[in-house]
Structure 1
Amino acid sequence: MSKMDAAWAVAELDAFLSVTAQVVPRTGPGVVYFGTVMRGPRSEADERSLIVEQILDRSLPQWQLERPAKDKDYSWLRTQASRGRAAIERGQEVAARLGDTAPEMDAAHLHPWAWKNGASYWRTGHFHQAVMQAAIRINAETQAKLGRMDVSETALFNEAFSMEGPKSGRSRLRLAADDGGDTFKSLHRGARAFAEGLYAAIRNPGMHQAAGTDDEHLALEQLAAFSLLARWVDESTISSA
């Protein structure tokens, strides 16, 4: 995924803020209007709000957590747009001033199999569920690539990266050409162990996790691990009998 065009995003947010600003309407002589109205037409505000929401998804994670059921004249969304604008324009400055030079990881840049299915869960604070969706998607994609609907998860990956040669109905995934060397064996033995660890230690117990135990940082680490497995599967070649 490409880097956000900050100038464009800020311009879109400014346009939305301008259209939805509350102003005193112009009236004719002798006419007094008490109150304010939205500067622009509702139709334009509605259209621009769709773009604003997508910008906020990137610039203000979890911005929707306390979203009200009704937002008259976009007053709440205007506040989020202003906060998003500040985050985009001053994010690098704040990080530099606070001395935070550590690399950052954006979940949206992970492999699509690890991110897309759970993106909506992540944005509403359901981080654990996002990880579970990644595990489900990667399992399904691997089954589809190998044509193996008879096995899943740990058993699937154990067979996929097995050192045994392919058999009828049991194709293998290969991360490198088999040159008979130790590196080839080590690579696939590690991939098998890695996949088994993810499904045994994260996916299986995760299905029984109690509600309200989401940990954003831990979930991001888990998503990154599943993303690596997804990349291995996606980029591997199929060895068939």
Structure 2
Amino acid sequence: MWRHREAAHRAIALLEAEQELQENLGSGAPQLDASTLHSWVWGSVQGLWSSGHFREAVGAAARAVNAQAQAKLERRDASEAKLLSDAFSTNPPTPGHPRLRLCENDGGDTFKNRHDGAGNFARGVYAAIRNPIAHEEDEELEENEALEQLAAFSILARWVDSAAVVKAS
């Protein structure tokens, strides 16, 4: 019995020493917990991620954000960058082209900047991340690079999810 107790005390001491090392020698940088990504992203990739299919996971996240945006906007005639660029346009909505609004248009620069930025960001993630994954036969992504790419789609998903849909009158 005393051997078990002694082993338990040694194990606790080792864990405490490891934690102290991490606190004193670690980078101190924040870490991204994938489970905190937007549910459209993480919910669509968990199985792929856990099996090490990082490239396919990023592609699945891109498809999931697109599908959710199409459903929210009730549009199937456009997708991905084209759909979201149109949706975040600062132009008024027209029939068949509803807009996503991140904030009210108060006539200031913030409205224009947020919507132009969101449209440009959507074009960027689909052009620079999703397109190479879908059209090029490259090697598997490194886990950290794939996680960064998922985070980009998570940002876009949060904007699409939180935006109000404005339709033509």
Instruction: Give the aligned partner of residue 118 of structure 2.
Output: 191
How many angstroms apart in 2 are the aligned matches of 1:239 and 1:140?
Answer: 19
How many angstroms apart in 2 are the aligned matches of 1:163 and 1:230?
Answer: 19
Instruction: Give the aligned partner of residue 14 of structure 1.
Output: none
Q: Does 1:213 align with 2:140?
A: yes
Post-superposition CA distance 1:144-197 (Å, at most 9, x none): 000011100111011100111011121100000011111100110000000000
1:107 counterpart letter in structure 2: A
In the TM superposition, what is the alpha-carbon distance from 1:98 to its structure 2 partner?
3.5
Q: 1:117-156 alignment to 2 at 5 Å?
A: 117-156=44-83
Question: After the TM superposition, which of the residue ranges 123-132 and 95-104 deviates more from structure 2?
Answer: 95-104
The answer to which structure, 1 or 2, has the higher relative contact order (CA under 8 A, 6+ apart) is 2
Compare CA radii of gyration and give the structure with the larger one: 1
How many angstroms apart in 1 are the aligned matches of 2:95 and 2:89?
Answer: 14
For residue 182 of structure 1, the aligned residue among 67, 91, 109 is: 109
2:119 counterpart letter in structure 1: R
In the TM superposition, what is the alpha-carbon distance from 1:211 to its structure 2 partner?
5.4
Structure 1 length as normaliser, TM-score? 0.60
Q: 1:211 to 1:204 in 2, by over 3 A?
A: closer
Provide the alpha-carbon RMSD of the alignment. Answer: 1.8
Identity, in percent, stands at 51
Q: Does 1:158 align with 2:92?
A: no
> In structure 2, the residue corresponding to 1:173 is in which secondary structure?
strand
1:161 counterpart letter in structure 2: F
Post-superposition CA distance 1:203-225 (Å, at most 9, x none): 11111343543211111111111
Instruction: Give the aligned partner of residue 99 of structure 2.
Output: 172
In the TM superposition, what is the alpha-carbon distance from 1:231 to its structure 2 partner?
0.3
1:165 counterpart letter in structure 2: P
Q: Does 1:113 align with 2:27?
A: no
Q: 1:92 to 1:237 in 2, by over 3 A?
A: farther
